[in-house]
Amino acid sequence: MIDNLVRENIKRLKPYTSARESFEKGILLDANENPFGAVIESDLELNRYPDPKQKEVRTRLGEVLGVASENLFFGVGSDEIIDLLIRIFCTPQKDEVMILEPTYGMYKVACDINDVKTSHVMLDENFQIDFNAIRNAWNENTKLIFLCNPNNPTGNLIDPHDILQLCSKYNSIIIVDEAYIDFANGCSLKDEVGKINNLVILRTFSKAWGLAGIRAGYCIANSEIISYLFKIKAPYNLNKLTSKTILDALDNYSTMQQNVVLINAERIRLISELQNLTGIIKICTSHANFVLVKFENAEKVFNYLISKNVIIRNRSNMPGLQDCLRITIGTKEENDFLLIKLREIL
């Protein structure tokens, strides 16, 4: 089934075979590396190219998640994987990508860069899947459907039964972006990947793990899809410094979980304080490290906060989100300062 959705040129592609794919040990005179070593001190052999197959990090992450390593692929942030998936499945100017809106903006930007048409289907008034709207917009060229769970910027969870129904109903790859799933205890669909061929889960180290700076994302998918990702990626996409940091991070799983508990507690506190303010129309329920708030006059609030050096994200121009601002949960001190400034302007 996967093969039927893959672009013909990608199926035919003879991939580049990199030097470190064939040999990692020996007198390595095959990759034009520098035999004298790196110009800085490091025990990572930085003069040598990294492992193109990402073996160590995939094995270790697989152990932590309870997922087979053949179902894992690492990218330079999940943004790289979004781009690769579009390139595997979508022929420019022919195929289409459906995006369930309002959601993360990179899905559309990555399609635009690849000259792939997008259709934008609104979630319903509770930001849940609207099957009627999808039925009207779907066609045989719809190769991918992107949705985000918990959704960015609305923060809500999407009903997992609906997502599974989407997978079974449509002959498309359903990409569920779980960038914020660590904040939403136990709601992942990762264990369904073994059973459902067309389900791809996207994850990132940028949020709960606090590692946006290392640029590491991964996906959990059917091994056929994983093979295509390896077939078309840049040979050495995951660098040694990032891999080492991922391994260290995975040894600190409990620290990640503690930070999630702190952030979730701050989110609950911030929301209850916001409920006491005037000038707010709606505070969206959130299962992520941000909260979307609809103000009577978002522009005024947004500009005032900037003038006080508090930067939040204006989402007012997104479909269905007029006058909505997205606030990332900060430290207690940052959130208190934000609340003081909000009380001043509202």
Q: Would you count residue 116 as binding ligand PLP (CB under 6 A)?
A: no
Cis peptide, bond prior to residue 150, ω within 30 of zero: yes
Least separation in angstroms between CB 106 and ligand PLP? 6
Nearer to ligand PLP (CB atom), residue 7 or residue 215: 215
- Whole-angstrom Cα distance, residue 174 to residue 198? 6
Burial (CB count within 10 angstroms: exposed 0-12, middle 13-18, buried 19+), residue 160: middle
Q: Would you count residue 204 as binding ligand PLP (CB under 6 A)?
A: yes
Q: Binding string, 119-138, against ligand PLP, x = CB under 6 A? A: --------------------
Nearer to ligand PLP (CB atom), residue 81 or residue 167: 81
Q: Which of 154, 206, 245, 289 binds ligand PLP (CB under 6 A)?
A: 206
Decide the pairing of beta strands 217-221 and 199-204.
antiparallel
Q: Which of 61, 86, 121, 148 binds ligand PLP (CB under 6 A)?
A: 148
Residues 70-99 that bind ligand PLP (CB under 6 A): 77-79
Q: Which of 89, 104, 138, 228 binds ligand PLP (CB under 6 A)?
A: 104
Nearer to ligand PLP (CB atom), residue 46 or residue 174: 174
Q: Would you count residue 212 as binding ligand PLP (CB under 6 A)?
A: yes
Least separation in angstroms between CB 288 and ligand PLP? 9
Least separation in angstroms between CB 109 and ligand PLP? 12
Q: Are 346 and 301 in contact (CB under 8 A)?
A: yes
- In this chain, which residue has its C-beta nearest to ligand PLP? 77
Nearer to ligand PLP (CB atom), residue 106 or residue 277: 106
Nearer to ligand PLP (CB atom), residue 20 or residue 233: 233
Q: Which of 234, 236, 230 is nearest to 33 (CA)?
A: 236
Q: Would you count residue 150 as binding ligand PLP (CB under 6 A)?
A: no
Residue 130 backbone phi and psi in degrees, to 5: -105, 95
Q: Are 70 and 227 in contact (CB under 8 A)?
A: no
Nearer to ligand PLP (CB atom), residue 104 or residue 138: 104
Least separation in angstroms between CB 104 and ligand PLP? 4
Which residues, 6 or more positions from 58, have their beta carbon under 8 angstroms from its beta carbon?
Answer: 69, 72, 73, 74
Which residues, 6 or more positions from 10, have their beta carbon under 8 angstroms from its beta carbon?
Answer: 87, 88, 228, 231, 232
Q: Binding string, 260-299, against ligand PLP, x = CB under 6 A? A: ----------------------------------------
Q: Would you count residue 113 as binding ligand PLP (CB under 6 A)?
A: no
- Whole-angstrom Cα distance, residue 265 to residue 250? 23
Q: Which of 24, 77, 53 is nearest to 236 (CA)?
A: 53
Structure tokens that stand for 303 in this block:
């500009």
Beta strands in the chain (DSSP E): 72-75, 96-101, 117-122, 142-148, 173-177, 199-204, 217-221, 280-283, 290-295, 313-314, 324-328
- Whole-angstrom Cα distance, residue 122 to residue 236? 38
Q: Would you count residue 52 as binding ligand PLP (CB under 6 A)?
A: no
Q: Would you count residue 152 as binding ligand PLP (CB under 6 A)?
A: yes
Structure tokens that stand for 77 in this block:
């942030």
Q: Applying CB under 6 A, what is the total number of residues that bind ligand PLP?
A: 12
Q: Give the interface with ligand PLP as residue ranges (CB under 6 A).
A: 77-79, 104, 148, 152, 177, 179, 204, 206, 212, 217
